[in-house]
Chains A and B, each alone.
Chain A
Amino acid sequence: MPNVTESEVFDKFAQIVARSLRIDVAQVTPEVHLTDLGAESLDLIEITMETESQFHIFLPDKSILETAVEVFGPGVLEKDGYLTGEGKRLLMCRMPDADAEAFQGDVALKDLQHYFLKVGTWVRMIQGLAQYTPAECPACGGRMAPSMGFRMKCAQCGEEITLRSGEELNREWVREYYDKEYRPQAGAPIPVTVVQ
């Protein structure tokens, strides 16, 4: 679904959230946080599963910051529970559409976690991942339909592709950022995870 709009994603996601939390869909707005709508940890799992199933995507199981910290190592992107300047730069580069005020001043990780639970943040993440789910078969141009697990199958020629996970895409982006944006200016070593 590479051409899905933010508004289409929002409408569909709002339905998922409302159904899962048994609330009126009108309560689901881009600015509201899922926890403020009453979502508990298992509700978030349910919303994740339903979102993956309806959008044919594979959501990451942790935030882009956590993935980046694994690549950069400790103390570079966050220190003592607060984003460093480098951490802010990485997130602003990854999420250029994010609310500017989310990264102003001292940004505690708890506030960032809260931001990641905003409906609007989920919508943008879903829209981003949906770009990697093909609507047409790369081999014959036929229509792709969901198959078993995280696979899509061409209705015309039967070609199957495995969807790329959000975690895999995040990690790939972080490594590219590390190599092209961070390492040249910081003179940092090649991270262990890249060597592996």
Chain B
Amino acid sequence: MEPAHNLDDPTASGSVPLSQAWNAPVAPWGPPVSLVCRRLDALPCEPGALAELVLSRRERDQWLSMRAVDKRRHEWLMGRCAAKDAVRLVLEKPLGWRIPHSDIEIVPDAYGRPLAQGAWSVLLGTQPVLSIAHTQGRAAALAALRPGQLAGIDLESMHHRREDFEAIAFSADERGLLAVLPGDLHQEWALRLWCAKEALGKALGRGLSAGLQAFHITAAEISTGTVRIELRAGALQQFPQLAGRRVTVYTGRESELVFATGIYQQGAAE
């Protein structure tokens, strides 16, 4: 990752990124011409000041009225910072300038998928696709601009898991894929597979609402981090165009952080 910007001068946030570039989740997808991934490992300054700088008025009202524990409020704010950076950078080339953070408003659609909007979207005539993930005080965001492209990202910490979560998270077939792995790899890949399901659910915009078994992992390649997922039951009803197809999700690990990204081009043959 590129080094983080030190926000000594908070007023500089209009022009400089608050988060770090994170290329590992997007690298497997080829040249990142229309993909930007950003990550934030800690709050760059006091949360109230940060909210004042980066949020729109409506977002600030939402953040101030959020009745949640500090962990949740801080991660929400960090997710917004990473997401706004990702959107600014993915739009920089087509627009020719960087939009101030507070001019990018992130609101969920009716299904809960985050959407980036602002006056600039009228000029641009299109909207970037956005996905946000956070875990254990870290946040990451992925933005894509190619028309028809769907993108999802998920993160998990290796330290944050219950040993037997696989019994609920995976089907017998999926647990069979894990069973052949030695202990340390087994633990890592259980999280990778979980992240892969979450990332695809986010990319498609409905999360895992159709049920955990509706996202069925058919293959996992240790050497490349590639996971193939087939939709079933309720998920297939939501996305009938994916019948009989296996969607690719890339997974990876950096230190204690496991991640997955799913990019799906609507209308693509595979």
Contact = CB atoms under 8 A, between A and B. Distances in A.
Interface of A: 23, 27, 32-33, 35-38, 40-42, 45-46, 48-49, 61-63, 66-67, 69-70, 73-74, 80-82, 108-110, 113
B210 to A, nearest CB: 6
B97 interface: no
Contacts of B234: 62, 66-67, 69-70
Given A38-B68, A62-B214, A66-B211, 14 more contacts: A35-B68, A40-B160, A42-B160, A42-B165, A46-B162, A62-B209, A66-B210, A69-B237, A74-B237, A74-B238, A81-B110, A81-B111, A108-B111, A109-B209
A110 B168 contact: no
Nearest to A45: B165
11 contacts: A33-B68, A40-B160, A48-B168, A49-B164, A49-B167, A61-B168, A66-B209, A74-B238, A81-B109, A108-B110, A110-B108
A39 B54 CA distance: 25
A81 B108 CA distance: 11
B259 interface: no
Given A66-B209, A81-B110, A42 B161 contact: yes
A126 B238 CA distance: 28
Counting chain A CB atoms within 10 Å of each CB, the highest count among B169, B208, B213 belongs to: B169
Interface in B219-247: 233-234, 237-238
B212 A61 contact: yes
Nearest to B209: A66
Nearest to B135: A40
B109 A41 contact: no
A109 B111 contact: yes
B215 to A, nearest CB: 11
B198 interface: yes
A36 B161 CA distance: 19
A27 B69 contact: yes
B72 interface: yes
Interface string B12-31: 00000000000000000000
A46 B156 CA distance: 14
